[in-house]
Amino acid sequence: MTEPFDAVEVIAAKRDKHELDDAQIDWVVDAYTRGVVADEQMSALAMAILLNGMNRREISRWTGAMIDSGERMDFSSLSWRTADKHSTGGVGDKITLPLAPLVAACGIAVPQLSGRGLGHTGGTLDKLEAIPGWRAALTNDEMMAQLEDVGAVICAAGPGLAPADKKLYALRDVTGTVEAIPLIASSIMSKKIAEGTGALVLDVKVGSGAFMKSKGQAQELAETMVSLGHDAGVTTVALLTDMSTPLGLTAGNACEVAESVEVLAGGGPADVVELTVELAREMLAAAGKDDVDPADVLASGGAMDVWKRMIAAQGGDPDAALPTPKETHVVNAPASGTLTRLDALSVGVAAWRLGAGRSRPGEQVQAAAGVVMHAKPGDQVTAGQPLLTLQTDTPERFERAVAALDGGYDIGVGHVDSPSVVIDRIR
C-alpha cells in the first residue's frame, strides 16, 4: 500500500505553524494507529502541536479521526435518555460515585466510563474496587443491560473505544506533551463522543490540585471541549470548579467511598454535596429533564437505592465493610488559630505516596491508603489537635507523605470566606 503522505511533511507543516488539512489529519491519526507513523514521529508532531496550537477546525477533525479509529456505542435502544459527566481530575474528587446514582434516580441514565488514577489525582475505578467483589470490566452487552435495569453504570472503557487515543495518551505521558490543550481536549472528547451519550457535562478543575492551574487555562480547555461536543451534535456544558483545596474530608480510595455513601445517606461534607447537586442539575437540564430537583431526590434516599443496585449489579456487596488501614499516623496542628489554607496538591501527593495512587500504569494501589482531613479552611484549630490522619498498610511510606505536607497548610487569625466550589459556567 502506498501511503498518501509522509510523516515528516506533516510534522514540518505544524512545526512551521501551518494548518493541517483534513486529509493530513485523517491520515496521520490512522497511520499512527496502524503503526505506519512511528512513536518518535508522533511525539515530534505532538510537540509541534503543543508549541504552535491548532484552530477549532483542526481540533474537531483530529477528534473525529480518533473516534473513527474504533467503535461507537449507541444507547438509542434504551428506554432512558442519557447524560454523562467528565472531570479533569483532582484531589478528593469522589463526585462520580454519588452523582451517577443521583441522576439515575431523577430519571436520566448515566453511562459513566471512568479511569484510574495516575500520580496525585485519584481514579474512580480504583476507589470503587475498594468495595469487595466490585468489578470494573463489563462487556457492551452487560453495560446496556445494567443501564436499562438500574439506570447507572460506572465501568472501564472497552479496548475498542478510540484506540488511537489510548496509544497517543501513553506517548504524550512520556514526551512532555500532556499539557497541549488541543490534545487534552481531543483525548477527552473522542472517548465521550464515541461513548454515544446524549448529553455531557464537563467538570474542569482549576487550582493547585488540578491539571489546569489558572482560570485562563481552564477556560480555554473548557471552551474547546464544549465546542467539540456541539460540533459532534452532543449537548455539552462545562463548569469550572475550584481545586485549590481538596474536595470533602478524604483523599484516597476506601475512605472516599465511605464519604460518598455518607452523601447518599443525606450527610457528608457541604462542598461535596454542593458540587454533586450542581452537576446533577446541569446533567438533567442538558438531557431535557428539568421537572425534578436532585437536592430533593438526594434527601429522599432514592439515590442510595440506585447506588446499592448499581454496586450489586457489578458483583459488589454494598453493605460489606470497607478495607481499613493497618497503620495510621496523625499530623497535629502546630499552633492554635484559623486554618487559612489546605493545599490540594500537597494532600494529593501525600495520599499518592501512602499508596492510594500509582506512579506507573498497572501498579497496584492500596484500597485503605489515603488522608483523612479533620479541618478545612475557615475552621478553628487548637495546637496539638489532629489536623490530618495518614493511612497506609506500609508504614515506611509515612516519612515521604509527611514531607509532602510540609508547607501545605497555614494557620493564622481572622475569618476565611467559603466561596462556592463552582467558579464559572461555560455553554
Q: Which of 127, 172, 192, 397 is catalytic?
A: 172
Q: Grid coordinates in use for 409? A: 497548610
Element (H, E) at 194: helix 181-195
Identify whether 410 is a catalytic site residue. Answer: no
Q: Which of 187, 190, 208, 346 is catalytic?
A: 187
Identify whether 165 is a catalytic site residue. Answer: yes
Instruction: Please check whether residue 194 is in contact with residue 67, taking contact to mean a CB–CB distance below 8 angstroms.
Output: yes
Q: Smallest Cα–Cα separation from 121: which of 225, 256, 6, 21?
A: 256
Task: Give CA–CA dist 197/220, Å, rounded.
Answer: 23
Q: Smallest Cα–Cα separation from 355: which of 343, 342, 364?
A: 364
> Secondary structure of 305-318 in the HEC alphabet?
HHHHHHHHHCCCCC
Using DSSP bridges, classify how beta strands 409-412 and 152-156 pair: parallel, antiparallel or unpaired: unpaired
Q: Grid coordinates in use for 1? A: 500500500
Q: Grid coordinates in use for 33? A: 494507529
Instruction: Please check whether residue 131 is in contact with residue 257, taking contact to mean a CB–CB distance below 8 angstroms.
Output: yes
Identify whether 191 is a catalytic site residue. Answer: yes
Instruction: Please check whether residue 334 is in contact with residue 178, taking contact to mean a CB–CB distance below 8 angstroms.
Output: no
Task: Give CA–CA dist 413/410, Å, rounded.
Answer: 10
Q: Which of 14, 61, 94, 191 is catalytic?
A: 191
Task: Give CA–CA dist 120/341, Å, rounded.
Answer: 19
Identify whether 415 is a catalytic site residue. Answer: no
Q: Smallest Cα–Cα separation from 134: which of 155, 114, 152?
A: 155
Residue 156 in 3-state DSSP? Answer: strand
For 182, which DSSP code? Answer: H
Q: Which of 93, 126, 165, 271 is catalytic?
A: 165
Residues labelled as active-site residues: 86, 165, 172, 187, 191
